[in-house]
Amino acid sequence: MAADAVTGIGAMRALLAPLRHRDKTIGLVPTMGALHAGHARLIERARIDCDCVVVSIFVNPLQFDRKDDLDRYPRALDADLALCTSRGVDFAFAPTAAEMYPKAPVCTVDPGRVAEHCCGRYRPRHFTGVATVVLKLLDIVQPDVAYFGEKDAQQLAVIRRLVSDFNVPVTVIGVPTVREADGLALSSRNRHLSPAERRLAPSLYDALTDAASHVAAGMTDAEDVKRHAATRIPTDERVRLEYLEVVDPDDFQPVERIAGPVVIAGAMWVGGTRLIDNVRSSPRTTS
């Protein structure tokens, strides 16, 4: 069990090599730590599917566009390791930044058009950092299956395209978003919300579900969908809607006319905390 963290790349590979030689199925759950029930759900799915479960815990500096955001990102390694142990994780891989990037990387992954809109528009080079570190983790662990939360839908789309374009021999599984009772998607950043901000935070999910209901009811103009949904965001100086978009599920390009399945994605600031969420919807078919 994962009582201690594996910190070295060579050590991680050495621990997994005998399992791979015995044809054991290896599952990877990549995380940035500050683990919560959403991460636990990923681990539980991996535990069902795989002989060996690896959880990586690494706050990746390449995907942060602001140093203050990197510095503020919650870190709780002891609690993370305890959660991993309680969920039957075999290995927790927690390298340092110096281990992952002994030299400033010159070769990085450009995720292209999948990263042009939504979060990619507001966080320059964020998805370059995501794609680069995920490719490194997949190369280090060489899992058969990798698990990602659907809350980060654009990230999941980037990773699916990465795996396809680079012929990485791994199956990518998206696991449904875990939510609080009021709909707020679980996130490591939620702990930064004050009690008053926490009460405002579910309005993003309210707006997205409102949009999904309009799509299901037959509204086909994406601008109309977004306009109706935005009215669910409270007028409050602590709240700022960064974006609310209707996009294609595969390449995250904006949709003007809705004729099939879409992702409705949004980002919202509540105080100093940025929240993201998404829902899927399709026009209701009639027989």
Annotated catalytic, 39?
Answer: yes
Options 21, 36, 39, 126, the catalytic residue:
39
End-to-end CA distance of the chain: 52
The CA–CA distances, whole Å, from 105 to 73, 80, 98 equal 22, 28, 11
Residues in the chain: 287
Tell how far CA 158 is from the center of its chain: 10
According to DSSP, the residues that pair with 273 across neighbouring strands are: 270
Closest to 205 (Cα-Cα) out of 120, 124, 102, 278: 278
User: What is the b/e burial string over 100-129, where b = at least 16 CB atoms within 10 angstroms of the residue's CB?
Assistant: bbeeeeeeebebeebbebbbbeebebbbbb
Residues in CB range of 219: below 8 A, 6 or more apart: 225, 228, 258
Residue 140: HSE in the Cβ half-sphere, 13 Å Cα cutoff: 24
Query: Cα separation of 111 and 104, whole Å?
Result: 19
Nearest residue to 140 via CA among 180, 172, 170, 109? 170
Residue 268 main-chain phi, psi, to 5 deg: -145, 135
- Whole-angstrom distance, CA of residue 20 vs CA of residue 153: 30
Residues with active-site annotation: 39
